[in-house]
Amino acid sequence: MPGPKYPGFDTLALHAGHTPDATFGARAVPIYQTTSYVFRDSEHAASLFNMERAGHVYSRISNPTVAVLEERVAALEGGVGAIATASGQAALHLAVATLMDAGSHIVASNSLYGGSHNLLGYTLRRFGIETTFVNPRNPENFRRALQDNTRLVFGETLGNPGLDVLDIPAVAAIAHDAGLPLLVDATFTTPWLMKPFEHGADLLYHSATKFLGGHGVAIGGVLVDSGRFDWEASGKFAQLTQPYAGFHGMDFEEESGTRAFLLRARREGLRDFGACMAPMTAFQILQGIETLHLRMPRHVENARKVASFLAAHEMVDAVGYPELAQHPDHALARRLLPRGAGAVFSFDLKGGRDAGRRFIESLRVFSHLANVGDAKSLVIHPATTTHYRMSDEDLKKAGIGPGTVRLSIGLEDAEDLIEDLGRALAAAKRSLKAE
């Protein structure tokens, strides 16, 4: 007798979290542009506030449109649930703020988005949360940096901008040995390329601004919990396993078991920090997710063609794309990312900063801007933009040189992208000769 079957990824991308509107039959997800929700009576109001009934009270805490996005991403990732936030950065902050207090410590990959590096390395330090950054290429570096007060291990599925592939199974095992959860930023991979929970990660988040939304029209984040980490057994997370005076003495783990992390993140984190997602934003990101399974293969296909072109070009010193045999994580990428290593990667241009400027300014199809994961192809010079606050030493540790250029490969005709890059590389070469 065949076993029962789960809906496929493509079906979930289109439907999860939503049934057609019962009142008017609207097929698309309605945009519930409302701050608040009418209670049936006083008893109903009281029971909603006291979490005796499910439902919406105030859109900072939850909203029906946003809830569809949250459930959809949770379904695609295989989590117990999700919380949508105002941005990917807000999702990272929400995870950290839910799990730790002043005096806590994080072990993080040093190959991170510049904004994440700022938050962990500078801003959170002001609030008493310290981070040790380690080279993720050797997972044992995470173990060596653990301290008694460590409460989180963190990395990106594909590091920014050098595309270090995080060995999630190995790093997760190290974290779990220490009774700690592994949080990953899965923005560059999306659940179509990799499901980090299947490899051992416990929490993940996306900058939904990028591939999930996919069209560069909305800023948002989504924090997802696998529900697999046993906070009680760890013994290190009183935030989730002891009565909390800030929420009527609730012991979140006792109250909700697998949902403890999300319960506190929503009921405290969204309530007090307030970095919620707007319903219109959720709607726009949902439109993107409905075609994620169609867009990602094309992103990857184009990225492969562009990476191969650049790798063979005389003006290019190196291409940091894990699908190329010379990338140090090539074997790991084949194991963890069989569908492809994404569509954001960097390359090192010969000629340094001036050549880089001439290259970028000569591009016509690629847009020079600070974003990735758009349907349109994008380019940026990390050393002067996304990672400009990092010291030269930290830049070097993160694999960023003065001539490093980051590309986000879109959905245009690959031939047009290659032609555009070829023209700009020729311009960069001419600038070298002119010097």
- Contacts to other proteins from residues 190-249, by CB under 8 A: 226-228, 230, 232, 243, 248-249
| Total site size for other proteins, rule CB under 8 A | 56
Among 37, 39, 45, 51, indicate the residue that binds other proteins (CB under 8 A): 51
> Does residue 18 interact with other proteins by CB under 8 A?
yes
If the CB atoms of residues 54 and 434 are measured against other proteins, the closer one turns out to be 54
Closest Cα to residue 320, out of 431, 375, 398, 230?
398
For the beta carbon of residue 126, count every other beta carbon within 10 angstroms.
8
Among 53, 125, 144, 389, indicate the residue that binds other proteins (CB under 8 A): 53
If the CB atoms of residues 68 and 107 are measured against other proteins, the closer one turns out to be 68
Q: How far is the CB of 433 from other proteins (least distance, A)?
A: 58
d(CA 48, CA 86): 24
Q: How far is the CB of 256 from other proteins (least distance, A)?
A: 5
> Does residue 364 interact with other proteins by CB under 8 A?
no
Q: Are strands 344-349 and 404-408 parallel, antiparallel or unpaired?
A: antiparallel
Work out the angle between the directed axes of helices 64-77 and 279-289 (0-180°, nearest 10). Answer: 30
d(CA 290, CA 17): 12
d(CA 24, CA 165): 47
If the CB atoms of residues 2 and 435 are measured against other proteins, the closer one turns out to be 2
Q: CB–CB of 135/166 below 8 Å?
A: no
SS3 140: helix
Helix (H) or strand (E) holding 84, with range, is strand 81-85
**Sole window of 1-9, 122-130, 160-168, 205-213 interacting with other proteins (rule: CB under 8 A):** 1-9
Among 35, 36, 52, 416, indicate the residue that binds other proteins (CB under 8 A): 52
In angstroms and rounded to an integer, the radius of gyration of the C-alpha atoms of the chain is 22
Q: CB–CB of 175/144 below 8 Å?
A: no
**Sole window of 158-166, 186-194, 257-265, 391-399 interacting with other proteins (rule: CB under 8 A):** 257-265
Q: How far is the CB of 93 from other proteins (least distance, A)?
A: 18
d(CA 325, CA 331): 8
If the CB atoms of residues 16 and 383 are measured against other proteins, the closer one turns out to be 16
> Does residue 16 interact with other proteins by CB under 8 A?
yes
Tell me, rounded to whole angstroms, the distance of Cα 430 from its chain centroid: 38
- Contacts to other proteins from residues 286-305, by CB under 8 A: none
> Does residue 67 interact with other proteins by CB under 8 A?
yes
> Does residue 274 interact with other proteins by CB under 8 A?
no
Tokens representing residue 69 in the block: 């996005």
Binding positions for other proteins, rule: CB under 8 A: 1, 3-7, 11-12, 15-19, 47, 50-56, 62-64, 66-68, 70-71, 74-75, 78-84, 226-228, 230, 232, 243, 248-251, 254-259, 262, 266
